[in-house]
Amino acid sequence: MNCEIICVGTELLLGDILNTNAQYLSRELAALGIGLHHQQVVGDNPDRMRESISKALAESDLVILSGGLGPTADDLTKEICCEVMDEELVLDEEILQGIKNYFSSKGLAMPENNSKQAFVPKKNGIVLKNANGTAPGCAVEKNGKIAIMLPGPPRELIPMFENEVKPYLAKKTGGVILSKQVRTFGIGESDMASRVKDLLNGENPTVAPYAKDGEALLRVTARAENEEKAARMCDEAIEKIKQRIGKYIYGIDCQSLEEKAVELLKKADKTLALAESCTGGYIAKRITDIPGASSVFEYGIVSYSNEVKQKLLGVNAETLDKYTEVSEQAAAEMAQGVRKLSGADFGLSVTGFAGPDAASDGRPAGLAYIGFSCAEKTQVRELRTGKNAREYNRYVAASNALHMLIEYLSERNDKE
């Protein structure tokens, strides 16, 4: 099955919004094993839309459209696409009532325009429910071609694709589709990919590598008659992946290092305190991105100056004199210091050169020391990113700190 995507919206042609839908849909289609060969963006212009849709349907088995399902006069995707496919649109009273209910639940009357959204394909289509807005999507299947029409806002499009389109496409290709994500840390994308190279060529399950925010991940997607079997297929592939790169895997189906760190802290009923120099609050920010982080994280110090390091964290003046503030010794004392000051179970610290410039003593941007301290031990890891990029260096240093904590807590869990 080959496929084409058409995103509709003048705001995309003006550059007002970033086309994240195109990436999302492309990635999902790749995971489903559906070959995408063309993406287009057209404005809310009937003639151009007609031309693009006709051409796409002539060349592809499946055309996925996003945008232009709104209530205003220039929202024309459904009308034009059904016209091109010679499919009549009819009013669906139930959907109309649903839209009216949506408005009345907000204490509003439905504007007359919105009734347009209750028109659906008469004969050769199905309706795709929208749990997050008024515009339902639809799929029309005719003469061996399929057109799927989705709303433009990602918070409507993504759940509709997940819950309505995937099962629909799974039926077309047979069965259910299930994806699981394997998250790694400390291994590059190409290194990871080369170690699981043979798995990347599989057709079912598919295994696809991604690099995201300096981490490498693998997505495993299986197609099967039922969910149980698809899950088993995913798990078998993940087992093989674990054999190759197990020591780099920190989570299956979790979202981020910070989510994993908070989850493990909660599980262990332990608390964390932070002393951040070059990351300047970035670890604290990421930890507190997670709802409920307050139960495990109470205390963070951003200690940009040596004075704060000494006065508040109790780093020795001699340490700073002898080894400088960017040193293994300073990182260790910062991690110990903040743990003691706060009374938390664990202390994490980062001190380094974020860049973009090298340090005045000639040491490179991207050099950082990351300290971890608990009751039994204090350890420090040296990081050298080799890059001058400030944001990258800060993000990666924060990630390394979170990963040190995760490693400790994971080992602790394994022992229990």
CB of 12 to a copy of itself, least distance (A): 7
Task: Name which of 61 and 235 has its Cβ closer to a copy of itself.
Answer: 61
The single residue among 288, 316, 324, 378 that binds a copy of itself, judged by CB under 8 A, is 288
Q: Convert 328-357 to b/e letters by CB count within 10 Å (16 or more is b).
A: bbbbbbbbbbbbebbebbbbbbbbbbbbee
Q: Encoding tokens for residue 140?
A: 């029309």
Q: Which stretch binds a copy of itself (CB under 8 A): 102-110, 260-268, 387-395, 406-414?
A: 387-395
Task: Name which of 225 and 357 has its Cβ closer to a copy of itself.
Answer: 357
Distance of CA 301 to the CA centre of its chain: 29
CB of 129 to a copy of itself, least distance (A): 22
Q: Which of residues 9-68 bind a copy of itself (CB under 8 A)?
A: 12-20, 22-30, 36-43, 45, 48, 52
The single residue among 146, 222, 283, 401 that binds a copy of itself, judged by CB under 8 A, is 283
Task: Name which of 111 and 246 has its Cβ closer to a copy of itself.
Answer: 111
Of 116, 377, 397, the closest CA to residue 283 belongs to 397
What count of residues does the chain have?
416
Q: Encoding tokens for residue 286?
A: 């990421």
Task: Name which of 338 and 406 has its Cβ closer to a copy of itself.
Answer: 338
Q: What is the DSSP letter of 277?
A: S
CB of 119 to a copy of itself, least distance (A): 27
Q: Which stretch binds a copy of itself (CB under 8 A): 171-179, 228-236, 238-246, 271-279?
A: 271-279
Contact by Cβ (8 Å): 103, 110: yes
2 lines the binding site for a copy of itself (CB under 8 A): no
d(CA 64, CA 62): 7
CB of 206 to a copy of itself, least distance (A): 11
Helical (H) or strand (E) element with 232: helix 227-245
3-class DSSP state for residue 119?
Answer: strand
The single residue among 168, 299, 323, 392 that binds a copy of itself, judged by CB under 8 A, is 299
Angle between helix 257-268 and helix 390-415 axes, rounded to 10 deg: 30
N- to C-terminal Cα distance for the chain? 49
Q: Encoding tokens for residue 13?
A: 């042609």
3-class DSSP state for residue 64?
Answer: strand
Matching residue, tokens 């031309």: 51
Q: Encoding tokens for residue 164?
A: 């309505």
The single residue among 44, 215, 259, 276 that binds a copy of itself, judged by CB under 8 A, is 276
Of 140, 37, 35, 136, the closest CA to residue 84 belongs to 140
Taking CB under 8 A as the rule, which mask of x and - marks residues 202-241 in contact with a copy of itself?
Answer: --------x-------------------------------
Label the pairing between strands 2-8 and 378-384.
Answer: unpaired
CB of 56 to a copy of itself, least distance (A): 11
Q: Which stretch binds a copy of itself (CB under 8 A): 108-116, 121-129, 284-292, 367-375?
A: 284-292
The single residue among 285, 340, 381, 412 that binds a copy of itself, judged by CB under 8 A, is 285
Q: What is the DSSP letter of 39?
A: E
Q: 3-class secondary structure for 347-359?
A: EEEEEECCCCCCC
Size of the site for a copy of itself (CB under 8 A): 65
The single residue among 93, 112, 269, 307 that binds a copy of itself, judged by CB under 8 A, is 307
Matching residue, tokens 């439905």: 110
Q: Encoding tokens for residue 7?
A: 């995103």
Q: Which of residues 113-152 bind a copy of itself (CB under 8 A)?
A: none
CB of 211 to a copy of itself, least distance (A): 8
Binding site for a copy of itself (CB under 8 A): 12-20, 22-30, 36-43, 45, 48, 52, 210, 274, 276, 278-285, 287-289, 291, 293-294, 297-305, 307-308, 342, 354-357, 390-391, 394
